[in-house]
Structure formats: structure tokens, C-alpha cells
Structure 1
Amino acid sequence: MKLSERHDPPVRVLVVDDQQLVRDGIASLLQVQDSIEVLATAANGQEALEAALHWQPNVILMDIRMPIMDGVLATIQLRRQLPSCHILMLTTFDDDEYIQDALQAGAHGYLLKDIPASDLALAVRAAAQGIYQFDPSIAGKVVSSFVPSTSRKASEMENDPGDLSSPISTGRRANSAFGETSLGDLTKREIEILRFIATGATNREIAECLVISEGTVKNHLSNVFSRLGLRDRTQAVMYARERGLL
């Protein structure tokens, strides 16, 4: 084959869902899409961990509510063990709490199961390139959650936030929600802790890794939130990921 005829390797996908009919259906739909290879399926988070370590997928489609180990806990562990793998939540639940938990855990997007197969394929390919993916019905929630209502000016509300009505809306639309904040406002230690936050690490885990007290970690986090204008850990995770700290 000539060099000009070569194609990029397919995106390697693992499908995780506790309902066999659902996961097999998703796998079948994706398998016939161009540039996508479904490696395996798993019925819960524990199986997902084992399968991911064995198959080394580029993207994992993860249900959020499953027995034995749910999708959030599995995502936290997978982000530590396979940091190069991108995890997309694919679920029927659009609750704010689930969305926040998933993003804080390190998910690279949040999609609902009623998404058309072609759009799901687009989302998988985009996620493999590091682009955040959100279902149009929840994209507004994600963006608004990162803009404190007390700091939003009327003129900012009038600006066009980008078209969120397209089949796939990416988290890169949310960059403007953080304003002009800069990592240069942080100390090296604060940036280091922010990087840990992006992996889903707890305060205790950060303290153990850096050999400092949990109280010191909390003080650093308070400074990070204040200097960057962030409201909580979920915002910190998104900020860190969008600034390439992971």
C-alpha cells in the first residue's frame, strides 16, 4: 500500500453497560461505523477495569448506574491506571448530580442513550482526539454550572455562547466561562494540586502523595478556587483539563 493510501488506525472502543441487550446493541451499532473497532464489552465497572487493562482502548463508553462497581468509581480508577484513555458516560440519567459526579471523576463527556448511532460515532471519534462531548440537552447545564450567577454581566449574557443545538456539542465551548483566569496566578504547589484534582484524587490521596497534611491541601485548594474564580472541585477538574494539566 502506498503511503498516500494509508488510513489512521480505528478508534478502539470498550462498551460498558449492565444490560446485555443494551451493550450488545451499542457494540453492534458502533462496529459498522467507519474508523471504529469495538474491542469488548463489560457488564459493570469492575469488569470494565479488567477489560480496559487488557485491551487498552482509546475510548470507553460507560454507563453510570451498575452493580458491583458503578461508572463513577470505575472512571476514577481508570483515569489513574489508564490516563490516556478517554471515558464517555452513556446513560439514561440527566440528573445534575450524576453529571457533576461523572465530570469530577474524570469523564471526558456525558451523552444520553437516545443519541443516534451516527452521532455517537462522531462523539467517540472526537473524544479519542481529546474533545469533550456533551448531549445537547445537558450542554446548557454544564456551561451554566461553570459561570457563577453573581459574576455574569448582562452584556455577557447577550453574547452568543455557540450553537448547542447541533447533534454533538463539545466542552471547548465552555472555555469562555472561566474568563481570563490564568495558571500564572498560581504557585507551583497549587498547580501541582490542581493537576491531582484533575485525576479525581481525594484530599487525603493528594496529601499522602505530597507528604503534607489534608489541612494544607484544603488551604491550597481554597487559594486555587479564589484566584481562578472557581466554585467547586467540578469546575477545577474542567479548568485543569481544558488547560492541559492532565
Structure 2
Amino acid sequence: MIRVAVVDDDCLVTESLKTILEASGEIKIVGTGHSAPEAVALFLKERPDVLLTDIRMGESTGIQASKEILQQMPEAVILLLTTFSDDEYIREALALGVKGYLIKQNLSTIVPAIKAVNNGQSVFGTEIVGKLTEILQNTTPKKSNNYQLSEREEAILLEVANGKNNKEIAKALFLSEGTVRNYISQLLEKLEVRDRTQLAIFYYQEYQ
């Protein structure tokens, strides 16, 4: 049973989410809240497996709550649920290291998303994934090589983050497509991520 805390400034939304999640038979709601300070207090008290929180909540935000929680507990698993696919919110969420960002309209995706982030995956709704390349391209990277990537691996990671396919990467870096595929497989294994989208997310989080 996955222990989940739910926070949203709309009481009806909170209760609806509680009903939907518990109906799955795989999730136990350990508490609910309606503001960013409540999100922090609830998380620190209950230590849920996953915190599902809204972003815009009165004077504070789920982003601010996430930042405070992650400063105290870097291993915290936070899934943002919002009606806003605002680029700045997405950028802040990625930088903080939250595990997911979903749009409220797609309620059917919430249970699978909670299960995924609880298993260590990152989950971003289709609306968010569509914005990632643009966000990454508009971000000036900083140097980070905590994972001891080679210069070639870093170059390929950058191209993946820029949304290029294997053929385009091969042409840009004067490599064969087979070599590019091999490098990407190595990156997926070395960075312990499952697909190209997560490679792009990794690039933003480590090189932003």
C-alpha cells in the first residue's frame, strides 16, 4: 500500500482526489492539507511515500513547499498536480528535483503516476513533455560532471536534451547512427534512467 498525502487549496478537489486514489485499492491517504505550510507540516509529520500537491495555493505555492521539504529531506518524493503548465513552474520543479508534474484535467493518469514515482521514476504529463525541449533550449547550462561523463557523452546528452533524434545527432557530431545508439544506451545505464525524456530532464537538473 502506497502512503500518500494530498494537498490542494480547494477542499472539494482534495476530497475528490482522496476518493479516487483510495478507490484504486493500492493507495492509503495518510493526510490532507490546503496550503503550502500545511503541505510541509503534513509531510514532516506523516512521512508519506508520495506527496501529491497543488502548485497555486493562496499566498504560497506547492513549489515553495517542495523546496522546503526537499531541503530537509532530499529523498522526498513529490508529485505536483496543477491546472497550470507554466514554463517557469516547470523549470522550477525540474530544478528542485520533484518527481513529477501533472495537469489536473487528466485524473486517470494520477494513480499510475503515483505508482511510477514511488518506484523511482520521473513522470511528466504529455502537456509538460511537449514543453521540455523548448524550456531546455532556452536555458543557459552550467557545467556539472558529478557522474563522470566523458566529453562525448556530455555532447550527446546535450543533443538529446535539444530534442534531436539519432540521425540528427550523428550528423551534428560526425558519428554513425550505431555509435550514437550505443552512447545513448550507455547513458541510460550509467544515469539509471529509462528513456530519452528522462535524459533531457537529467540534463536540465544537472547542467541548468
Q: Who is 1:86 aligned against? A: 77
For the residues of structure 2 that align with 1:115 and 1:107, how far apart are their CA atoms? 19
Give the structure-2-normalised TM-score.
Answer: 0.69
1:148-187 equivalent positions in 2, closer than 5 A: 155-156=167-168, 172-177=195-200
Distance change in 2, residues 1:80/1:48 (3 Å): same
Partner of 1:100: 91
Identity of aligned residues (%): 33
Q: Which amino acid aligns with 1:36?
A: I
2:121 aligns to what?
131
Offset at residue 126 of structure 1 (A) = 0.5
Query: Conserved in 2, the CA contact under 8 Å of 1:16 and 1:23?
Result: yes
Q: 1:122 aligns with which of 112, 127, 130?
A: 112
2:130 is aligned to: 140
Unaligned segments of structure 1, at least 5 residues: 1-9, 160-169, 179-197, 199-229, 241-246
TM-score after normalising by structure 1? 0.59
Pair 145,112 (structure 1): closer, same or farther in 2 beyond 3 Å: same
1:77 to 44, 49, 68: 68
Q: Identify which range, 45-54 or 101-110, moves more after superposition.
A: 101-110
Mapped to 1, the partners of 2:12 and 2:36 lie a distance apart of: 17
Q: Is the 8 A contact 1:88 1:108 kept in 2?
A: yes
Amino acid at match of 1:32: A
Looking at structure 2, the residues matched to 46 and 104 of structure 1 have their Cα atoms a distance apart, in angstroms, of 21
Change (3 A) 1:36 1:74: same
**CA distance 1:156–1:84, shift in 2 (3 Å):** same
Amino acid across the alignment from 1:13:
V
CA distance in 2, matches of 1:239, 1:175: 14
> Which amino acid in structure 2 is aligned with residue 79 of structure 1?
L
Q: What is the CA–CA distance in structure 2 between the aligned matches of 1:43 and 1:90, rounded to whole Å? A: 13
Which of 10, 26, 50 in structure 2 is aligned with 1:35?
26
CA RMSD after TM alignment: 3.2
Distance 1:171 1:43, change over 3 A: farther
2:144 maps to none
